[in-house]
């Protein structure tokens, strides 16, 4: 008994020595917290917002309109419900929309009874063109659908079954590549940030807007894994509340220090000196660096410029549209006005019949953007040149 107590005492003594020894203990404590934090993060990053079922018969989406209250997955197999899911923002965020469209197109064409290539092509085109009408601004939608069409064309001399198998692989590849791309964006972005920074974000460019990691939230996840202790502020993002319902939800789930503010509070937190950097995602970057993102983003950029705070846009190369010359050429989606005053309320928050204007995106002028962070590296002004270089 006495011997036992002594052993325990000795073990306790060694443990204390290990934890507080500056040389060995620090590493142990760091590794210990890394495991705990890593465990929490993995839970969030394990969420798959868009995927195919095992047989490739259905598109499975996390229904983001139900968050943060319900985590429910919907299974879709016809083009109308896939179109509706994209239009209604059940799946949203530029990369996730692209992945959903590619996988949805595959699910639909897999059911085709076409006997020859021409028949298959006509059916494919009809579904593709239809899905392309679901949302106009995020270029990833068109990019992913075009990539599927290129795959179809490249395999035209093969039997129908093999063409379908190639389309299956292509859709999956678009998703898998996005995961790597987002991680690389996160690494580049993190190189611009320092531990302890206050960071403001707008809308949701997180893990559920992509295949994994997110774009603008990727550096926050990677930094958190490495003990950066960021203090993150999320704009609520009216009218569809992607900041409040989605960003706040996923960052809180990851154990990140997150504070929710209304959109009109962005300037006060900047004035107070609480914000060291702004990180946002993006739906389309024009060839001159103008960037369309969720409505309200350009206002944040203007305030950031006033206070001298760096404003970073995160964009996979697939979000850069060199065929769109400037922001003026980006088609901005307009959505039903009811989203402003009815969508989230038990009773209308404005008189019935009120005139509304509900653009879903705005364009941040290139001269307000400190850097555009892509998987291939960080682009700086003048963007016309740095964007051209990256496409060479
Ligand atoms: O209307 P949404 O929710 O699809 O808008 C999303 C955004 O504006 C995101 O910031 C953008 O798509 C980047 S997602 C990585």
Q: What is the pLDDT of residues 87-115, one digit of tens each?
A: 999 999 999 999 999 999 999 999 999 99
Residues 362 and 258 in one domain: yes
Q: What is the CATH number of the domain that holds 338?
A: 3.40.50.10470
Q: Distance (Å, rounded) from C-alpha 215 to C-alpha 178?
A: 10
Q: What are the distances in angstroms from CA 172 to CA 61, 225, 266, 283, 362?
A: 14, 27, 38, 21, 31
- Assigned domain for 45 exists: no
- Please give the helix or strand (H or E) that residue 260 lies within, else none: strand 257-261
Q: Distance (Å, rounded) from C-alpha 63 to C-alpha 50?
A: 10
- pLDDT tens for the chain, residues 1 to 392: 333 343 343 344 444 434 444 333 333 443 344 444 555 566 889 999 999 999 999 999 999 999 999 999 999 999 999 999 999 999 999 999 999 999 999 999 999 999 999 999 999 999 999 999 999 999 999 999 999 999 999 999 999 999 999 999 999 999 999 999 999 999 999 999 999 999 999 999 999 999 999 999 999 999 999 999 999 999 999 999 999 999 999 999 999 999 999 999 999 999 999 999 999 999 999 999 999 999 999 999 999 999 999 999 999 999 999 999 999 999 999 999 999 999 999 999 999 999 999 999 999 999 999 999 999 999 999 999 999 999 98
Distance 43 CA to ligand 1 centre (A): 22
- Assigned domain for 221 exists: yes
Give the model's pLDDT for residue 37: 52
Does ligand 1 lie within 6 Å of residue 210's CB atom?
yes
Distance 138 CA to ligand 1 centre (A): 8
As to burial, measured by CB atoms within 10 angstroms (0-12 exposed, 13-18 middle, 19+ buried), residue 52 is buried
Q: pTM score, two decimals?
A: 0.90
Does ligand 1 lie within 6 Å of residue 243's CB atom?
no
Residues 25 and 63 in one domain: no
How far does CA 49 lie from the centroid of its chain?
10
**Could you give the residue numbers annotated as active site?**
283
Residues 238 and 175 in one domain: no
**Edge-to-edge strand ranges of the sheet holding 320-321:** 320-321, 284-286, 291-294, 361-364
Residues 221 and 114 in one domain: no
Mutate to test the pocket of ligand 1, among 94, 181, 299 (most ligand atoms within 8 A of CB): 94
- Assigned domain for 325 exists: yes
- Indicate which residue's Cα is closest to atom 10 of ligand 1: 281
Residues 200 and 172 in one domain: no
List, as own/partner pairs, every contact residues 34-37 make where C-beta atoms lie below 8 angstroms and the sequence separation is at least 24, other chains included.
34/225, 34/227, 37/224, 37/225, 37/227, 37/255
Distance 30 CA to ligand 1 centre (A): 35
Q: Which atom of ligand 1 is nearest to the CA of 92?
A: 4
Q: Distance (Å, rounded) from C-alpha 160 to C-alpha 178?
A: 27
207: containing domain: 183-390
Give the model's pLDDT for residue 30: 39
Does ligand 1 lie within 6 Å of residue 134's CB atom?
no
Residues 155 and 259 in one domain: no
- Both tokens of residue 141? 């939608």
Left (φ > 0), alpha (ψ -120 to 50) or beta: where does 96 sit? alpha
Beta-carbon-side half-sphere exposure of residue 69 (alpha carbons within 13 Å): 3
Give the model's pLDDT for residue 36: 47
Pairing mode, strands 377-379 and 371-374: antiparallel
Residues 132 and 243 in one domain: no
Does ligand 1 lie within 6 Å of residue 89's CB atom?
yes
- Assigned domain for 43 exists: no
**Edge-to-edge strand ranges of the sheet holding 50-52:** 50-52, 59-62, 73-76
Contact 287, 315 (CB under 8 A): no
Residues 6+ apart with CB under 8 A from 227: 30, 33, 34, 37, 195
Does ligand 1 lie within 6 Å of residue 237's CB atom?
no
- Please give the helix or strand (H or E) that residue 153 lies within, else none: helix 139-154
Q: What are the distances in angstroms from CA 190 to CA 208, 235, 377?
A: 20, 21, 12
CA neighbor of 203 nearest in space, from 43, 313, 99, 121: 313
Structural domains in the chain (count): 3
Residues 14 and 134 in one domain: no
Give the model's pLDDT for residue 285: 98
Q: What is the pLDDT of residues 232-277, one digit of tens each?
A: 999 999 999 999 999 999 999 999 999 999 999 999 999 999 999 9
């Amino acid at each position: 008994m006495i011997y036992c107590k002594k052993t325990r005492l000795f073990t306790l003594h060694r443990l204390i020595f290990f934890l507080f020894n500056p040389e060995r203990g620090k590493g142990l404590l760091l590794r210990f917290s890394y495991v705990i934090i890593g465990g929490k993060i993995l839970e969030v990053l394990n969420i798959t917002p868009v995927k195919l079922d095992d047989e490739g018969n259905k598109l499975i989406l996390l229904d983001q309109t139900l968050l943060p209250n319900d985590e429910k997955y919907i299974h879709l197999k016809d083009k109308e419900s896939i179109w509706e899911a994209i239009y209604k923002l059940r799946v949203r965020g530029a990369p996730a929309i692209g992945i959903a469209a590619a996988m949805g197109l595959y699910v639909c064409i897999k059911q085709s009874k076409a006997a020859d290539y021409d028949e298959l092509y006509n059916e494919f085109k009809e579904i593709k063109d239809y899905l392309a009408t679901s949302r106009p601004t995020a270029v990833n939608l068109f990019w992913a659908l075009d990539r599927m069409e290129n795959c179809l064309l490249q395999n035209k001399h093969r039997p129908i079954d093999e063409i379908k198998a190639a389309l299956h692989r292509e859709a999956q590849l678009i998703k898998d590549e996005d995961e790597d791309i987002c991680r690389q964006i996160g690494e580049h972005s993190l190189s611009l940030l320092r531990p302890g920074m206050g960071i403001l974000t707008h809308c949701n460019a997180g893990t559920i807007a992509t295949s994994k990691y997110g774009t603008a939230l990727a550096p926050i996840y990677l930094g958190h894994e490495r003990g950066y202790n960021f203090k993150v502020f999320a704009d609520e993002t009216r009218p569809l509340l992607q900041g409040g319902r989605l960003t706040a939800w996923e960052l809180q789930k990851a154990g990140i220090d997150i504070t929710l503010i209304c959109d009109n509070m962005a300037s006060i937190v900047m004035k107070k000196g609480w914000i060291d950097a702004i990180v946002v995602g993006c739906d389309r970057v024009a060839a001159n660096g103008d960037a369309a993102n969720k409505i309200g983003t350009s206002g944040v950029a203007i305030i950031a410029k006033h206070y001298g705070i760096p404003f970073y846009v995160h964009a996979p190369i697939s979000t850069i549209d060199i065929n769109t010359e400037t922001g003026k050429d980006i088609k901005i989606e307009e959505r039903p006005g009811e989203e402003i005053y009815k969508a989230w309320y038990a009773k209308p928050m404005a008189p019935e019949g009120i005139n509304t204007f509900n653009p879903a995106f705005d364009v941040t002028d290139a001269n307000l953007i400190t850097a555009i962070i892509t998987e291939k590296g960080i682009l700086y002004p003048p963007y016309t040149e740095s964007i051209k270089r990256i496409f060479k």
